[in-house]
Structure 1
């Protein structure tokens, strides 16, 4: 079985031509579409004008042919032609949307009105009708028709074409036209018998009317087509784009812009609006970012101001603390550059107020002190030793004697990250007072050691012995190394220890500072002894007891002598 070859179904030639034309029209720009329609409309209008001129020419030939005997018939034809011309000019006013064209059609209409009025005036002079009342009525209707069309032209030019259209499209106009047609038909019936030329002119006028009607219909269709094109290609897209623009202006940038794919002016405008949307969105994001950056900047500035205030306050407090220190302070970095000194240091070494500058070094300080007799020694070795200790990060304490006799204790401490802090304390008076106190203590110890009365001291809180002299060693029969740090329970029998502790506690708890008692008790290593004990509570300025002093006078030998004598 032979295969049937496949043939693609093809549209008829007319449909293909229509589709091809549709594609061509769709690709045209709006200005090209409107220009084409307007061109066709101008062509139709031109044909209308040509047909009107042809009608006038026919009327002129008719008038020449009939001469004076056919004036009435000619006037009927002229009136009929002018009425049609006025109607056509009125339609031109109706169909035009541009003010210039409306003005041109309105001027032509007024001119036709004047011509019609002139014809009626001439006709009035030569009117010859069997019915004498017929022409005045016809003339009155013509004048009404002229006034009506003049008002139409005025409204169309001074108000709007729509106002003229509304004025012309009413029942009074149609009634008037009907009456005029009736009059003309009546005139025609009266003139049928006058000449064959009237019938021929009527046929030609009828044909011209059809041409004019056809051309008028074409003009109306072109006007309607122009309205449709403008509405679909301009007004509707512009409304969509305007709505999108309003949304963008309201801050909504997340919308799609319609008609951006069109290749005509609307597409160009839509793409411009899309670019505007994108720019607006970028500006909005930039404004948001700027607002956030501004807020963060204000916050950072506020925090910086607070930190700066805190820094200044801390710096002031630190400066006040450093300048009110009893010790002098100097701070240097790892290279020996002076970072800071306090007032006590400058006073201690008699440094001028403005001597310390940004570039002052430790060597500069030592050289100035050496020049003023406040440093003795090798400056290079001294600086090298300090920098070595700074590098090693080891604390260091030393004492130096100044040439003026002052004693300075220097405490060096390394800083984190490199550097060195040194405090200088003038302890000349403390050393002098310490020496005096040391001599006084030696003197008192010598006195206490050599008095015949046994003296012991106890801590007020622990009641342990803290001091005994030689007489106390003899009285107790023990060396002091076996007494110091011990309590009465470590040295005396339990009964004696209980009595001594009770008496000590009563003295410490009472208001008396001292008391004298006579005791007989067994010593740790010296037998039974009888003694007069003077007990003294030693307190600080607040009245708190911190030591209990016992002075024991041994009365045993005197009591034995008295017993022997007795």
Structure 2
């Protein structure tokens, strides 16, 4: 395998690591988005319950306004305010009943009987106040105080549960965020360490070591050590293999040149012997 292909394989491994980290990041973002959606839903639930609890308190205050009215005209003002507050409560309850959220429908089912009784009694209080029957309205409202207390207990229970759910969802989101931050940090550290190790190994094994071997062989041949072995490269088409084939050709040429020089020296020696023989003769 050529150095280029090996480097490309190393780069591809880096790309795979990056894809893994990116995939984990996208999965984490999707999970965090889901958790934030759950947190938003829990917040909306808590807000809705607090809102209707506040509406019930308004109903109670307007009812007391009727009870304390000095005359029919003043009672009618409070009756109008009470009627509007009851309409708001009914709208919220209707939205819970028709909601696609199973939790809101379950919430409606839980408080619906008590809420309907509470609203029905207050509607009668409104009617009596509009008729100027303040004493009857007061007696009716006072006798149904237990229904109002029961409704507010149910709402307080829902408030506690909603706040608990909100706190739990927030804690889960915070824990998930901290866990993912730690995971990303560890993955980044391991990825950097892996990249450095792979890079060092690739450079040492595929580049530095072969080039040192090539350099050592060239130096030996240049010093006349023509018996220095040169690895045979038959099927490899990489850069290092090309260098070895070039060195093998140089070695072959050097050996051939050495033979020619040796033959020339032998011929010169023989000519010198013949010349000496002629002089002696």
TM-score range, shorter chain: 0.3 to 0.5
* Greater percentage in helix: 2
